[in-house]
Amino acid sequence: RPLLDPAPPLPALHASLGLSILALLGALYLVPSLGPAFVHANLKGRDLLKTYDDPIPESLGLVCAALYILLLILFIPFAFSDFLNGQRNAAKKPREGLVINEFPHHQLSLYLSSLLSLLMATMLGFLDDVFDIRWRHKLPIPIIASIPLLMVYYSERGATDVVVPIPLRWLLGSLLNLGPLYYVYMSLLSTFCTNSINILAGINGSEVGQALVIALSVILNDLLYLPWPIGFRIPLHLLGRGREVDFGGVWSAGMAYGSAVLVERHLFSLYFMLPLVGVCAGFMYHNWYPARVFPGDTLCYVTGMAFAVVGIQAHFSKTLLLFFLPQIFNFVLSCPQLFGLVPCPRHRVPRFDAETGLLYPSTASFKEHAPSRLATVVLRVLAAPRFVRLTADPKTSEIAETTNLTILNAFLLRFGPMREDSLVKVLIATQVAGSVFAFVVRYGLAGLVYDG
Ligand code: UD1
Ligand code: MG
């Protein structure tokens, strides 16, 4: 038997959908109309991969963030509509002795701490746009910004143990309690999610494209946990087979009816993801090749923080990381440049060739000092699967130049030079493929390594 009221709180879900449409329309309208004000305030950038020099308004992610956060604040009363309705009904019919539940303070603190983190991310992102903070200096800020989230997680005695894969159980037992280390992991998650999107950037539509695919993947994952009341039936006779498949039944039996807490958590995640999709879709329209506006670091930080927030608060941080596979790959590949082993130019975006109109891998050269032995080994290892291409110095036969260590350059090495809009499509397709793989791993293969 289901443990909970079989219907999800529809007024809240409808309100969330409505606000998401507002988010879409708001971004579609506000982004271009506020662009000139940003140029006026000197928030503008040159499109590095174009022949023209026109100033493009930068950090329009601030408009997106403001819209997103305001809509989330507007949503607060709707999130508690169940409680408010219950109270009104009890007041109307005092004789019937309906119980007035206690106000769900915990839910409110969950919600408010999440908003606080999003605001911190907006501030950090915008400051970064204005002052170009060195990335080493900005790394600790999201870690500190995640403390309210961790406190809320602690207050509800959030689990800090991980299920040990079957082959390792003889050694570690079936549950391993990571204790404080689990909190360290979660705070690192916020810094990873924000920065990893920011360093996979620089071609039109890339930042917001990634965010959109990840948000849609999270939504799809959340929907699997909702209690579908009758099960929504897909009439296969429309496809000419004459029978129905009751998806709701399959899902409900499998997961959703398991626990009311799970449903509550994934609803929370939906409330944060639906308006994000609206804002991102609206922004993407203006940021698509050839871009009329740039997102700036603000958009990367806010979207990244939104993912970290739902991953932590709704307790699915490991599934969330599976949706970040391209970002993880790009981060690991970037490490030698991020940590100073290999020179890192200010911009690592691909090189634009004005004659052909195509993008080629950009390079970093060892002009100042020859590569260390470690750098040489690392680059040779990366060159074997063609993630980078090396150029040797004809005299010393040492490495003189390497392509920049980014996934975008790796795509160009593998698939050859291409136009900017093709490259962003390759990136988005990879992100989608990563999500499909994530679902297979999470719901298919997990059974091989974990029971249940
Ligand atoms: C990160 C990357 C950097 C990349 C940059 C591009 C690392 C360590 N840093 O730096 O390599 O070059 O993002 O965003 O990997 N721009 C375009 N087209 C776009 C988007 C941006 O030409 O579609 C250019 C514009 O000149 C814009 C600038 O990139 O002004 C923004 O760069 P910024 O976000 O400040 O760079 P970082 O995040 O510091
Ligand atoms: Mg950036």
Whether ligand 1 lies within 6 angstroms of the CB of 294 is answered as yes
The continuous run of DSSP H or E covering 246 comes out as strand 244-246
Confidence (pLDDT) at 251 = 46
The CA distance from 329 to 382, in Å, is: 12
Rounded distance, CA 150 to CA 180, Å? 11
Residue 92: what pLDDT? 78
237's tokens: 């006779």
pLDDT of residue 236: 41
The verdict on pTM exceeding 0.95 is: no
**From CA 364, how far away is CA 448, in angstroms rounded?**
43
E strand or H helix at 391: strand 390-392
Give the per-residue pLDDT at 143. 86
| Token pair recorded at residue 413 | 């090495």
Q: Determine the residue of 347, 362, 407 to mutate for testing ligand 1's pocket, defined as the one with the most ligand atoms within 8 A of the Cβ atom.
A: 347
Q: Does the Cβ of 408 fall within 6 Å of ligand 1?
A: no
Instruction: At 21, list the tokens.
Output: 């449409």
- The Cα 144–Cα 120 span in angstroms is 10
CB of 202 within 6 A of ligand 1: the answer is: yes
Please tell me if the CB atom of residue 47 comes closer than 6 angstroms to any atom of ligand 1. Answer: yes
Choose the residue to mutate in 294, 331, 407 for probing ligand 1, maximizing ligand atoms within 8 Å of C-beta.
294
Ligand lying nearest the CA atom of residue 208:
1
Ligand 1 binding pocket includes 291 (Cβ within 6 Å): yes
Ligand 1 contact via 204 beta carbon (within 6 Å): yes
Query: What is the per-residue pLDDT for 229?
Result: 55
Question: Does residue 333's CB lie within 6 angstroms of at least one atom of ligand 1?
Answer: no
Q: Which two tokens stand for residue 324?
A: 């970040």
User: Ligand 2 center to residue 73 CA distance, Å?
Assistant: 27
CA of 351 to the centre of ligand 2 (A): 17
Atom of ligand 1 nearest to the CA of 201: 14
Residue 49, ligand 1, Cβ within 6 A? yes
196 in Cβ contact with 406 (< 8 Å): no
Instruction: Report whether residue 348 contacts ligand 1, using a CB cutoff of 6 Å.
Output: yes
What is the atom index within ligand 1 of the atom nearest the CA of 49?
22
**Unique residue bearing structure tokens 């981060």:** 331
Distance of alpha carbon 223 from alpha carbon 321, whole angstroms: 18
Distances (CA, A) of 75 to 13, 24, 111, 307, 327: 10, 16, 10, 18, 31
What is the CA(276)–ligand 1 centre distance, in A?
A: 22
Ligand closest to Cα of 409 equals: 1
Q: Which residue type does 335 have? A: C
What whole-number distance in Å separates Cα of residue 345 and Cα of residue 361? Answer: 13
Tell me if 347 CB under 6 Å of ligand 1.
Answer: yes
Q: What is d(CA 93, CA 187) in angstroms, rounded to the nearest whole number? A: 47
Q: Kindly state if the Cβ of 420 falls inside 6 Å of ligand 1.
A: no
Which residue numbers in the chain have pLDDT < 50? 1-6, 230-231, 233-258, 452
pLDDT at res. 412: 98
Cα–Cα distance, 209 to 428 (Å, whole number): 6
User: CA 287: distance to chain centroid?
Assistant: 18
Distance in Å, CA 347 to ligand 1 centroid = 6
Distance in Å, CA 297 to ligand 2 centroid: 4
Q: Residue 349 CA: which ligand is closest?
A: 1
Relative to the CA of 205, which ligand 1 atom is closest? 23
For residue 13, how far is its CA from the centre of ligand 1 (angstroms)? 36
